Amino acid sequence: MAVVSSAHSNIISKTFLFHHINGFKRFSFCLPFSSSSAASLSSKKKCRQPVASSVLELGGIKIAKDDVVRDDPTNNVPDSIFSKLGMQLHRRNNHPLGILKNGIYEYFDSNYLSMFDKFDDLCPIVSVKQNFDDVLVPADHVSRSYNDTYYVDSQTVLRCHTSAHQAKLLRKGHTHFLVTGDVYRRDSIDSTHYPVFHQMEGVRVFTPDNWEASGLDPISYAAEDLKKSLEGLARHLFGAVEMRWIDTYFPFTNPSYELEIYFKEKWMEVLGCGVMEQEILKSNGRSDSVAWAFGLGLERLAMVLFDIPDIRLFWSNDERFTSQFSEGQMGVKFKPISKYPPCYKDMSFWINESFTENNLCEVIRGIAGDLVEEVSLIDNFTNKKGMTSHCYRIAYRSMERSLTDEEINNMQWSVREQVQTKLNVVLR
């Protein structure tokens, strides 16, 4: 339902953040903003200070846990998210995400004589300016809310898309580049949504000599080249499939498109793209140029290419998962490890005005971690007094083992307790 939507890992419908509707309630952010500077995070000086707690190195910058997770109203990053920073699944050559990334690299390298510069280690902690302003995301856009994005402080976020790096790379003079990275979004819970997923961004810049000889205007020239390149990429990944282009909206491109392919008997969105807004080029020292850009969700494609049924599996260290994939083996079909039974628990409560499903899911994930498979709203009504009740069904299931009743009951008790205290709702 969002006004715009997301290049998510989702393989069903909630895809591109900046265009699709997400289907869930989003609330506008209302937290007090402090003027504290998150810029300090990218300042090497601060990041290199010795710290007692765990320290990560991200894109050459050292980051301590207390730089990212703080008890402060401008910060909404939980421990569980900090633990994912630095995992960089996309850099493991025998992980489905790494195999897919390398498969895409191969396409660009062989068709463009290795012209594309590749980045897969840029720090995921970026400024609000990089993540939103630099790519023209409107000031009132829902994706800027604390309900949708992880804020480290009022000026710093965990990037919610790899488009956050476009402006800086253009400024540095890159004209052909691919950026792969982990991206972070607060979201609901189901088999295709996880608060951390991976995207790849591609950008190609043209100069007047490129389009002048073609007889086309610069925008048509870039759009044509974009379509040709991405159709080639889709064929490289999926074989000789039927394709179609859908007009859409992204704040950073105009015109904007989605590429869909007909795969396993249905139309599936592969990526979002378009001709870069001239303003972005102009602000970054490229007023004489036009460019195209695209963004794709790696999980979304990998789930289809490798037959991976649940997004949590990408994070599994279980050998029965990891041993099924090896470097360069694109599209090997995953053989499900035995299925363990799900256990369902329902809970009903009266919501308040600030209740959101993303906040609920964050509380549940904080307790159950990857043992929660799905949270779905199964009943919703408003009584005569105007009080609204929601009933959610929580599916607990491990990908790796059977859960005991005791374990599930304990989790459910903690969920009930924390939902009351943290979300201020009244259990029924």
3-class DSSP state of 183:
strand
Q: What are phi and psi of 265, to 5 degrees?
A: 65, 20
Residue type, 175: T
> Interacting stretch for ligand DAH, rule CB under 6 A, among 45-53, 287-295, 308-316, 323-331?
287-295
Type and span of the H or E element at 244 = strand 242-250
Binders of ligand DAH among residues 177 to 236 (CB under 6 A) are 201
Q: Nearest to residue 399, comparing CAs of 374, 377, 362?
A: 374
Q: What backbone torsions phi and psi does residue 329 show, to the nearest 5 degrees?
A: -95, 80
User: Would you say 61 and 90 are in contact if contact means Cβ atoms under 8 Å apart?
Assistant: no
Site string for ligand DAH, 288-327 (x = CB under 6 A): -----xxx--------------------------------
Shortest reach from residue 16's CB to ligand DAH, in Å? 4
Applying CB under 6 A, among 150, 206, 250, 396 the residue interacting with ligand DAH is 250
Pairing between β-strand 151-153 and β-strand 156-158 as defined by DSSP bridges: antiparallel
Dist. CA 28–CA 86, nearest whole Å: 30
| Closest distance of CB 75 from ligand DAH, Å | 23
Q: Does 251 bind ligand DAH (CB under 6 A)?
A: no
Specify the residue, 85 or 135, whose C-beta has the smaller distance to ligand DAH. 135
Residue 101 and residue 267: Cα distance in Å, rounded? Answer: 23
In 3D, which of 194, 273, 232 has the Cα closest to residue 18? 273
Question: Measured at CB, which residue is nearest to ligand DAH?
Answer: 295
Taking the least distance from each CB to ligand DAH, the nearer of 149 and 412 is 149
Closest Cα partner for 166 from 257, 252, 250?
252
Q: Segment contacting ligand DAH (CB under 6 A): 45-53, 107-115, 267-275, 355-363?
A: 267-275
The least CB distance from residue 362 to ligand DAH, in Å, is: 20
Of 96 and 251, the one with the shorter C-beta distance to ligand DAH is: 251
Distance CA 249, CA 251 (A): 7
Between CA 225 and CA 116 the distance in angstroms is 15
CB of 31 to ligand DAH, least distance (A): 23
**Interacting residue with ligand DAH among 76, 154, 253, 358 (CB under 6 A):** 253
Interatomic CA distance for residues 83 and 259, integer angstroms: 34
Q: Binding mask 109-148 vs ligand DAH (x if CB under 6 A, - otherwise)?
A: ----------------------------------------
Nearer to ligand DAH, 42 or 248 (CB): 248
Burial status of residue 82 (CB atoms within 10 A of its CB: 0-12, 13-18, 19 or more)? buried
CB nearer to ligand DAH: give 6 or 191: 6
Interaction residues for ligand DAH, span 7-36 (CB under 6 A): 7, 16-18
Residue from the set 101, 144, 161, 204 that interacts with ligand DAH by CB under 6 A: 161
Measured distance CA(35)–CA(320) in Å, rounded:
48
Site residues for ligand DAH per CB under 6 A: 6-7, 16-18, 161, 163, 201, 250, 252-253, 272-274, 293-295
